[in-house]
Amino acid sequence: MSSSRFIHPLWGLFAALVLAVPSAALLWPPPPPPDRFGQLPAFEHIDQDSQPFSRDTMAGTVWVTDFIFTRCPDVCPTLSARLATLQPRIEAHSGQQPIKLLSISVDPAHDTPAILAEYGARFDAAPTWRFVTGDEASVYETIEGFKQLADIQREAGKDVPEILHSQKFVLIDGQGEIRGFFDSTPEGIDTLWDAATWLSDHPDG
Each residue of 47-87: pLDDT tens digit? 999 999 999 999 999 999 999 999 998 899 999 999 999 99
Whole-number pLDDT of residue 17: 45
HEC string of the chain equals CCHHHCCCHHHHHHHHHHHHHHHHHHHCCCCCCCCCCCECCCCEEEECCCCEEECHHHCCCEEEEEEECCCCCCHHHHHHHHHHCHHHHHHHCCCCCCEEEEEEECCCCCCCHHHHHHHHHHCCCCCCEEEEECCHHHHHHHHHHCCCCEEEECCCCCCCCEEEECCCEEEECCCCEEEEEECCCHHHHHHHHHHHHHHHHCCCC
Q: Which pLDDT value is given to residue 155?
A: 81
Fold entry, domain 44-201: Glutaredoxin (3.40.30)
pLDDT(14) > 90: no
Kindly list the domain boundaries of the chain, sorted by start residue.
Answer: 44-201
Q: Which pLDDT value is given to residue 28?
A: 56
Query: What is the percentage of the chain residues whose pLDDT exceeds 70?
Result: 85
pLDDT of residue 23: 43
Q: What is the pLDDT of residues 123-148, one digit of tens each?
A: 999 999 999 999 999 999 999 999 99
